[in-house]
Amino acid sequence: MIFLFLVQTMFSINAHRCSWIDGTTAPLECVEVCKDAGVETELVDNIQYLPDECKTICYGEHAITTNVQNGQEQDIKINSQIQRQEQQTQKIQNQVEQSDENRERTQTQEQEHARILENQNNNSQGYDELPAQVVRIHNRGVYVNSHDPNVLKIEDEEGTNAQVERVEIKNGKVYIEDLELGCSPSEIKEKTRGTLLRLRITREKSELVYEATTNRNAKIMGIFDVEYKVTSRYNAQNGELVSSNKPIWAIFAFE
């Protein structure tokens, strides 16, 4: 009999339901929360009735817990965004460092080339200069500079020159591979940005083209100082920009 009484008692305890005073079902965990807060509950016909005061305490703590969890999830999301941004910044920095290495390698090659040319000039036994015939292109004096036996140049009165393979002056005009030159070197220099390193004139199909190599200084994302080269091509008849070639990461660089 005692055993049956204990079983019935345990069953009745487990069968308890929780309800608010207004008759709506209350969460079981709210019973312990209210007891811990010192709020008295009432058991009637195996139904644990919780007062409205307990509802405020129970749902208030639940809301706090939910806010904490939401805050933790937001922190995790922000940390992930920061990590992705740091990875992107590191990737750009690596590209900039690689570009610096390539730039130093190119400078070394250019210095070696200049040294070789200087030695050749020192060892040369003299050469015949072309006659200095000055012509006007857009009111700028242009002539053939033949002082360097290894490099033929078109130079204007402002001191800007461009390398050429072949050049001819006739009837007061400059012809390169049978095509008339329409712009002086200094006109093309004014269209470039940065420091002009080299300017040369070539023929591409039926057009003459200026190829300008410039050096530019900028900042990546406004933080990292960078230096990079840009090769631009201009129509030698009208001076219009044909194309421009620069590093891919230069889209993040601002001068």
Section 52-67 average pLDDT: 65
Q: Which of 114-118, 122-126, 198-202, 216-220 reaches the highest mean pLDDT?
A: 198-202
Q: Using CA atoms in the order 10, 14, 20, 21, what is the torsion angle rounded to 10 degrees?
A: -30
Distances (CA, A) of 22 to 13, 45, 59: 22, 16, 16
pLDDT of residue 132: 59
Q: What does the alpha-carbon distance between residue 175 and residue 237 come to, in Å, rounded to a whole number? A: 11
Residue scoring higher pLDDT (78 or 5) = 78
Mean pLDDT of 187-214: 92
List 25's β-bridge partners, or say none: 19
pLDDT of the residue at 114: 61
Greatest Cα pair distance, the chain, in angstroms, is 134
User: How many other C-beta atoms are found inside a 10 Å radius of the C-beta of residue 101?
Assistant: 10
What mean pLDDT value characterizes the chain?
A: 77
Whether 178 and 166 have beta carbons less than 8 Å apart is answered as no
The amino acid that residue 241 corresponds to is L
Q: What is the mean pLDDT of residues 236-255?
A: 85
Higher pLDDT, 39 or 173: 173
Is the pLDDT score of 56 beyond 80? no
Query: Looking at residues 77-99, what average pLDDT do you find?
Result: 82
Going by the DSSP 8-state scheme, the letter that residue 205 receives in this structure is: T
Identify whether the C-beta of residue 188 lies closer than 8 Å to the C-beta of residue 210.
yes
Which pLDDT belongs to residue 117? 53
Domain ranges for the chain, please list them: 2-63, 135-254
pTM: 0.47
The residue among 12 and 39 whose pLDDT is bigger is 39
**Short-list 199, 184, 195, CA closest to 236:** 184
Q: What is the dihedral of CA 234, 235, 236, 239, to 10 degrees?
A: -70
d(CA 189, CA 198): 10
Does residue 59 carry a pLDDT above 60? yes
Window from 109-113, 177-181, 225-229 with minimum mean pLDDT: 109-113
Of all residues in the chain, what percent carry a pLDDT higher than 90?
19
pLDDT for position 122 = 52
Nearest to 34 by CA among 18, 16, 50, 17: 50
Which among 149, 155, 150, 246 is positioned nearest to 200, based on CA atoms? Answer: 155
